[in-house]
Amino acid sequence: MRRLSIATAHAFLLVYSTTCLESFTSVKCYFEEIREQRQDFQEIPIVVAGNKSDMTSHHRAVHLEDVSEWLYCELPKLRTKLLECSAKDNYNIREVFRTFLTLSKILTTNGEENSLKRRSSAYVNKGKCDVSQIRKKCLFL
Ligand SMILES: Nc1nc2c(ncn2[C@@H]2O[C@H](COP(=O)(O)OP(=O)(O)OP(=O)(O)O)[C@@H](O)[C@H]2O)c(=O)[nH]1
Ligand SMILES: *[C@@H]1O[C@H](CO)[C@@H](O)[C@H](O)[C@H]1NC(C)=O
């Protein structure tokens, strides 16, 4: 199931916890799985998200710079973005989903719909992304 999902997915959201170093190690392993299975991995939107960013003042275990070094220095040619987020503070949650649209070139970076991609407009409502529409298409592993 997992292999099939990796083989057919249009995008990946890799989530680690900012409070758990092991979870970042897992993200690197997941990425390797994707790289092994997908020849087109450089074209696939991949969002890397560090959750629970509200806890970092006391419990930070993963530094954004380390993740960013891995992502942008070791793997420079990817269609990817790194974000820290917090469900508790509702910080960057919408941004995580919106990033898929910009990485897929469905939205421009300032949130406007790309006219060349109007057939994808089911996901886009006057420049605002419809998270529930996207969620229906997701498979959580
Ligand atoms: N501080 C903090 N806690 C959170 C956040 N999101 C969820 N939690 C808490 O984390 C616990 C587990 O949340 P779930 O949504 O069930 O997630 P889970 O997959 O079990 O997550 P982990 O506990 O992180 O492994 C609950 O007690 C939530 O209240 C967040 O953004 N910040
Ligand atoms: C945070 O990320 C960890 C590591 O991927 C994951 O196990 C956990 O479910 C996530 N928790 C929340 C609340 O998103």
Which two tokens mark 126?
Answer: 């006057």
Return the residue whose CA atom lies nearest to atom 32 of ligand 1. 52
- Residue-wise pLDDT tens digits, 23-58: 999 999 999 999 999 999 999 999 999 999 999 999
Sign of CA dihedral 78, 107, 123, 95: positive
Rounded distance, CA 110 to CA 12, Å? 22
Contact 30, 46 (CB under 8 A): no
Ligand 1 pocket check for 88: Cβ under 6 Å = yes
Average pLDDT rounded to a whole number, residues 108-123: 56
- Whole-prediction pTM: 0.83
Q: Which domains does the chain have, with CATH numbers?
A: 2-136 (3.40.50.300)
Q: Which residue has the higher pLDDT, 42 or 126?
A: 42
